[in-house]
Amino acid sequence: GRCVFCRIARRQEPGTALLPCQYEDLVCFRDIRPGAPHHYLVVPVEHMGNCKTLKAEHIPVVKRMMEVGKAVLQRNNFSDMSDVRMGFHWPPFCSISHLHLHVLAPASQLGFLSRLVYRLNSYWFIT
């Protein structure tokens, strides 16, 4: 398929290392353009549309995606969960339609551009 996140999830992108993940139906990897010292993406293995298509039944998936995000931060020795930003880009501001959660830390160290791109509950980034 043409979706890069589907290829990564199926381990068909040798350049992208998958990080340990406690759920079989999710994968986690580093963002190729990090906006913070820690910047990970958590992605369902099965192709799901962007956050606009999320329904109530997806709440458990999103909660597990956030659990994975916290676990990967802790494994990488980041423990201050009050200084973490997690969220989704709102269409049309997401470049890839496959659902993906951004996990950024420390939020206090986001650069100027990243602070705009990952701005809390802006038009384009929802937490």
How many whole angstroms separate alpha carbon 56 and alpha carbon 106?
30
User: Which run of H or E residues covers position 65?
Assistant: helix 59-75
How many whole angstroms separate alpha carbon 85 and alpha carbon 59?
18
Residue 61, CB half-sphere, CA atoms under 13 Å: how many?
21
Cβ-based neighbour number of residue 2 at 10 Å: 5
Q: Active-site residue numbers?
A: 100
